[in-house]
Each structure stands twice: as structure tokens, then as C-alpha cells.
Amino acid sequence: MNTKFMRTLFLFALCAQGGVIAADSTDSSKEIMSAYYEWVEAVNAKDIEWWASFLDARAVFLPDGNPALETTDAIIDFYAEQFRDPNFSLDCTQTLVEVSASNDFAWSRGTCNGTFTTPDGELGRSSGKWTKVWVRSDSGEWKCRLNAWNRNE
């Protein structure tokens, strides 16, 4: 069988089973997959310094229902507030990573479920989807340049 057909069939099977899809099998896409799962681990550890280490110096975040966060300080302040909530946690999956032919930027997308404390003190739940743009830093690490998400509700 032709290799392209086999790859498509394999990716379809992964998708049908709810698996993670990497658009390519390059080291870069694997590095981004790993970086994202560490990102979520840092969120759930509520370790703002570790989490912030994944940000590009020119990062911009577009949180659902909030103004754009256009500075690193604004992004860190936004997450520090979330981290103060004892119920805040994320359960996320990165479903696609595509790396540019130049290997200096990439994009990824996925889904996320979150828990948090509602304004009336109850446990809240939310689900959504997100897209990230990654850039390769001077040190060779992948950093998040753009992060946008919205809720499914």
C-alpha cells in the first residue's frame, strides 16, 4: 500500500480512538507535545514560575470573555489569579501539532476541561477548545507566542 494512504489510515484510527494526532513525526512536534503536557502539569501544580517558562517574551493571550493580554506581566497576573483558586485545575489534550517547513514556528490545538470556584463559592466546571502558536527561542526551546481559547458552553 502507498505510504501516504497508510499514514492517513493510521491518523484516522488514532482520531477515532480519541488519540493524540501529531501532523508530523519530527522531533519538533514531539518537543511541542512534551512542552504542552509540562505546561498543563505546571498549571495544576500552580507553579507560576515553571508555567511562565513556556512563554515567549512577546506572548499574547486571548482569553475567552476577557480583554487581550498583551504583555508577559498581564499574562502572568491573569494566571496567578487563577492559581489562587484552590479548585482551579485543567485536564487538557493537545490534538494536533503542525510545524512549519522552516522549523521555527508551529501551531497546535486541543481541548480542555477545567474546574474552578464560582462567584457563589460552588465548584464550577467548564470545557473548551484552544489554539496556540509556538516559536523556537534562541536557545532552541519551543515557547508559546499566541494562546487563544473559548468555552463550549
Return the CATH number at 47.
3.10.450.50
Cell 490534538 appears where? 95
Asked, for residue 13, whether it belongs to a domain, the answer is: no
Q: Where are the beta strands (DSSP E) in 25-66?
A: 55-62
Asked, for residue 109, whether it belongs to a domain, the answer is: yes
Residues 7-25 pLDDT 10s? 333 333 333 333 344 445 5
Per the structure, the count of domains in the chain is 1
Asked, for residue 6, whether it belongs to a domain, the answer is: no
Asked, for residue 78, whether it belongs to a domain, the answer is: yes
Q: 84 or 26: which carries more pLDDT confidence? A: 84
How does residue 6 score in pLDDT terms, banded at 50, 70 and 90? very low
Asked, for residue 5, whether it belongs to a domain, the answer is: no
Q: Which amino acid is at 86?
A: P
Asked, for residue 34, whether it belongs to a domain, the answer is: yes
Asked, for residue 9, whether it belongs to a domain, the answer is: no
Range of the domain at 71: 19-151
Cα 60 to Cα 132: distance, rounded to the nearest angstrom? 10
**The model's pTM:** 0.81
The sheet with strand 55-62 has its strands ordered as 55-62, 142-151, 123-136, 105-117, 89-99
Mean per-residue pLDDT for 127-139? 96
Cα 132 to Cα 146: distance, rounded to the nearest angstrom? 5
Asked, for residue 12, whether it belongs to a domain, the answer is: no
